[in-house]
Amino acid sequence: MNIVANWSYPTAVKLGRGRIKELADACKSLGMKKPLLVTDRGLASMAITGHTLDVLEEAGLGRAIFADVDPNPNEKNLEAGVRAFRDGGHDGVVAFGGGSGLDLGKAVAFMVGQTRPVWDFEDIGDWWTRASIEGIAPIVAVPTTAGTGSEVGRASVITNSETHVKKIIFHPKFLPGVVIADPELTVGMPKMITAGTGMDAFAHCLEAYCSPFYHPMSQGIALEGMRLVKEFLPRAYKDGTDIEARTNMMAAAAMGAVAFQKGLGAIHSLSHPIGAVYNTHHGMTNAVVMPPVLRFNRSAIEEKIERAAAYLGISGGFDGFYDYVLSLRAELGVPENLTAMGIGQDRIDELAAMAIEDPSCGGNPVPMTLGNTTQLFHDCF
């Protein structure tokens, strides 16, 4: 068997309690003298953000912040961020926050070097080669949640404000030069966000593990990522100050995003349109649609899931794993289905059409068609 693969693995990650104090050195190592911290509105006024700006200011790097970022960032937020970067004469970005702050910060650093519109760099074929790489600014990523793993990703999800479609914008230079993963920044996360972001990490690992593409490095990382979530997410949920649990969840989140280079599947291709249309929390939406997708894919993934269950210490093969997912969701207060999430069934046809256009659907173990995807949406209610 002739195996050929192209792999790219991540970046310098500084993981551990109190490591936010190394932020200024990380910025300087990438040549930044005047970074712009990009985060979302919700985080802008929080103590962890103020403390992070203090670290920059004390090192003579200023305390510039841009926080005009929606929960699902769009091209208007991006244009405003690029303007703030240029007007302030900045030379790098500190992307700070959950998925939205990280994704927008990375996109700002990328787009300051471009003359073409952001949609020209969608993750299609080799569109990324259209980019001018000279003006792309360096990035330090500082996650404040443990879910998306955007801090080790080479893409950003930007919502088109006209069409409400989420687009994946890709370029290798989106990968931050340094990541500061300080679990103390995640201690204040509300229970619901701890649950939603943690289930996002689990969904990334699960879908990457089940994806039919050949990538054994990702396969192994996905499996261990699931184990970390199983062991530490309930602990982090129960006691937000459990630093060991918070640290391991930050590792699991990064592992999920590294692993999904292997592919994602129906969980994400369903949750992306739901999030774009109804503005739901991405990780929580993943958790809601996970059981119907497991049933949908069973014929193609049963043996793989049996192996995973054995590694995770879950007895009963596929059925045991499925029951574990249900009990984990119940423990974390995840809504039972889309109805319980407050979503109506009136737009299923539209959502299904969006789902089969989503790039994630190509990695689903069972090929997705308009017919079976429409039925899958019905099963989520």
**Tens digit of each residue's pLDDT (9 = 90 or more) over 238-286:** 999 999 999 999 999 999 999 998 999 999 999 999 998 898 999 999 9
- Tokens representing 181 are 């993963």
CA angle 201, 266, 324 (to 5 degrees): 55
Q: What's the number of CA atoms in the CB half-sphere (13 Å) around residue 127?
A: 14
> pLDDT tier at 4 (50, 70, 90 boundaries)?
low
- Tokens representing 34 are 């005047």
pLDDT digits (tens, 9 = 90+) for 332-372: 999 999 999 999 999 999 999 999 999 899 999 999 999 99
Return the residue matching tokens 């966000």.
Answer: 193
| Domain-embedded: residue 303 | yes
> pLDDT tier at 57 (50, 70, 90 boundaries)?
very high
Residues listed for the chain: 381
- Tokens representing 141 are 């990523």
Q: What's the number of CA atoms in the CB half-sphere (13 Å) around residue 109?
A: 36
Same domain, 42 and 121: yes
Same domain, 97 and 153: yes
pLDDT score for 138: 98
pLDDT score for 71: 84
Query: How many whole angstroms separate alpha carbon 155 and alpha carbon 102?
Result: 10
Same domain, 165 and 220: no
- What's 129's domain CATH number? 3.40.50.1970
Domain with 145 in it: 12-186
Whether the pLDDT of residue 8 is over 60: the answer is no
| Domain-embedded: residue 3 | no
- What's 240's domain CATH number? 1.20.1090.10
| Domain-embedded: residue 95 | yes
Domain boundary among the residues 167, 186, 205 is at 186
pLDDT digits (tens, 9 = 90+) for 150-165: 999 999 999 999 988 8
> pLDDT tier at 58 (50, 70, 90 boundaries)?
very high
Whether the pLDDT of residue 9 is over 70: the answer is no
- What single letter denotes the amino acid at residue 104? L
Same domain, 195 and 182: no
Same domain, 105 and 248: no
Domain count, the chain: 2
Q: What is the mean pLDDT of residues 41-48?
A: 94
| Domain-embedded: residue 1 | no
| Domain-embedded: residue 7 | no
| Domain-embedded: residue 174 | yes
Same domain, 181 and 198: no
pLDDT score for 73: 92
Contact between 377 and 349 under an 8 Å Cβ cutoff? The reply is no
Query: How many whole angstroms separate alpha carbon 332 and alpha carbon 327?
Result: 9
> What is the phi-psi region of residue 287: left when phi exceeds 0, alpha when psi lies from -120 to 50, beta otherwise?
alpha
- The rounded mean pLDDT for the chain is 95
Domain boundary among the residues 186, 215, 235 is at 186
pLDDT score for 243: 95
pLDDT score for 39: 97
Same domain, 206 and 170: no
Whether the pLDDT of residue 169 is over 60: the answer is yes
- What single letter denotes the amino acid at residue 231? E
Cα 249 to chain centroid, rounded: 13
Alpha carbon dihedral 49, 51, 52, 55, in 10-degree steps, equals 160
Same domain, 153 and 198: no
Query: How many whole angstroms separate alpha carbon 124 and alpha carbon 106?
Result: 19
Same domain, 218 and 332: yes
Whether the pLDDT of residue 5 is over 70: the answer is no
pLDDT score for 276: 84
| Domain-embedded: residue 256 | yes
| Domain-embedded: residue 6 | no
Domain boundary among the residues 135, 158, 186 is at 186
Same domain, 142 and 291: no
Same domain, 90 and 196: no
Cα 326 to chain centroid, rounded: 22
Q: What is the mean pLDDT of residues 163-182?
A: 92
pLDDT score for 88: 97
Return the residue matching tokens 């995807």.
Answer: 373
pLDDT score for 30: 97
Q: What is the mean pLDDT of residues 125-136?
A: 93
Same domain, 72 and 137: yes
